[in-house]
Amino acid sequence: MHRMFVPGPVDVADEVLQAQAAPMLPHRSKEFEAIYRRASEKAQQLFLTQYRVFLTASSGTGLQEAAIRNFVDKKVLSCVNGAFADRWHEVAASNGKETEKLAFEWDQPVAPERVADAVKRGGFEAVTVVHNETSTGLVNPVKEIAAAVRAAAPETLVLVDAVSSLSGAKIEMDAWGLDMVLTSSQKCLALPPGLALGAVSDRAMEKAAKVQNKGWYFDLVRMEKHRLKDSSPATPAMSLIYALDKQLDRILAEGLEARFARHSAMAKRVQDWAEAHDLNMYAPAGFRSQTVTTIKNERGWEVSALNKFLLERGMRIANGYGALKNITFRIAHMGETQMADIEALLEAMEEYLKQG
Ligand SMILES: *Cc1c(COP(=O)(O)O)cnc(C)c1O
C-alpha cells in the first residue's frame, strides 16, 4: 500500500530500502566500481540516451547549479512558468550569470516560438526549461522547444529539469536533441532523497571544457575523467547507489513503456475524478502532467482538514505550492504508486466529502 500522494519524497519499495543496508566497500574498489558502472549504464536507458549519466551526492537542485556553472560562461535564458523554473533562474543569477527571464503565465506552457525569438537575438549559451512543473502540474513541450532553439540558434544548449517526471513520462534526450536532462532520486524514481542523476550530451561536455570557474565539486569535466574509470572525484553516496542499482532493475523489469502507461492511466483517473466533482485542473488540456495533478480548489475545500482525515488513514496529499497554497491542491501519482492505491485514496476522499 502506497500512502504518499505528494510529489516527493514518495514511497520506496521495501527491497529498495533494504538494498541500502548492504555493507560499505572502499569506493575505489573493483567491487564498488562494478556497481557504479552497471547503475550508470542502466540509467542511460531511462534517459533514452547514448550519452553519459552523472550520479551526484546532492538533490536535483545541485544539478541545476551544476548545469549553470558548467555550461554558461556569461548568459542564459531562463524559461519560467512555475516555481521550480523560477528557482533555476535564481540559481543562475546567484552564480553571477547574466540571466534573462522569459516569463509565462503559470497556467500556460512555455511557447516554443517565443523561446526561438529570444535566442535569435543571440548571445545565449543555454536555455533552461522545466519539463514537468511540480507546482502547477503542467508539462512543457520540451521536444518542440528544443527543435525551435536548434533552428533559431543551433549553438545554444538546451538544459532540462525532469526532476518530477523522468521514468514516469517519456523524455527522449537524444531524439529531441537535449543537452542535459537532470533528475532527483526522491520523486518519480521512487528512491530515498539525496542522489541526483544528470545525462549530458557530448557537445555540452565540449562547452564545459571551455567554461571558467566551474567550481570543484560539480565540475563535470573532472567528474567525467573519473566516470570513465567508474568512479567519482569525491566519495559517492554509496548506499543510495546500491538502492538505485536495485530500483533500476525493478523499473526496467516493469518496462519503460508500461511504466509510462501506468502513470498516464493514473493521471487520467485523477483528472476524471476531479471533473466529476466540477473541479478544473490548473494546467490546460494537452499540457497536463502524468505524474502530479494540480487541481483548482474551486469548491473551497479545507485542504488541511482533508489531509488530517487522510492521515488518519495513513495517506497524504499535497497542498498547493507557494502562492498556489489552498487555491489548489495536488495529488501525485508517481514512482511505484499503482492504480489500486489511487482508487483507495479517491475512496477515502469520497468518504471525507460525504461526512460533509
Ligand atoms: C522537486 C523539484 C526540484 C528540486 O529538487 P530537489 O531534489 O528538492 O533539489 C526541482 N525541479 C522540479 C521540477 C522539482 O519537482
Cell 479545507 maps to which residue? 302
* 304 and 319 part of one domain: yes
Number of domains in the chain: 2
- 121 and 176 in a single domain? The answer is yes
Q: Are residues 169 and 26 in the same domain?
A: yes
- What DSSP state is assigned to residue 179? S
Query: 164 CB under 6 A from ligand 1?
Result: yes
Residues 331, 193 within the same domain: no
Last residue of a domain, one of 223, 252, 281: 252
Residues 346, 277 share a domain: yes
Q: How far is the CA of 87 from the centre of ligand 1 (A)?
A: 9
CA distances from 75 to 186, 217, 348 (A): 31, 22, 49
97 and 196 in a single domain? The answer is yes
Residue closest to 44 by CA, chosen among 166, 185, 141? 166
pTM of the model: 0.98
Which three cell numbers mark 343? 482508487
Whole-number Å distance, alpha carbon 338 to ligand 1 midpoint, is 22
Atom from ligand 1 closest to the CA of residue 164: 15
- pLDDT tens digits along 97-107: 999 999 999 99
* pLDDT reported for residue 122: 84
Per the CB < 8 A criterion, the answer to whether 349 and 316 are in contact is no
Closest of 237, 236, 245, 260 to residue 188, by C-alpha? 260
Pair (341, 230) in one structural domain: no
**Cβ neighbours of 247 (radius 10 Å):** 26
Q: Is the domain of 288 the same as that of 323? A: yes
What is the tens place of the pLDDT at every residue in 53-93?
Answer: 999 999 999 999 999 999 999 999 999 999 999 999 999 99
Range of the domain at 296: 3-8+256-355
User: Which of 91, 130, 184, 188 most suits a substitution to test ligand 1, by most atoms within 8 Å of the C-beta?
Assistant: 184
260 with 204, same domain: the answer is no
Environment class of 24 (CB within 10 Å of its CB; exposed 0-12, middle 13-18, buried 19+): exposed
Residue 354 has pLDDT above 90, yes or no: yes
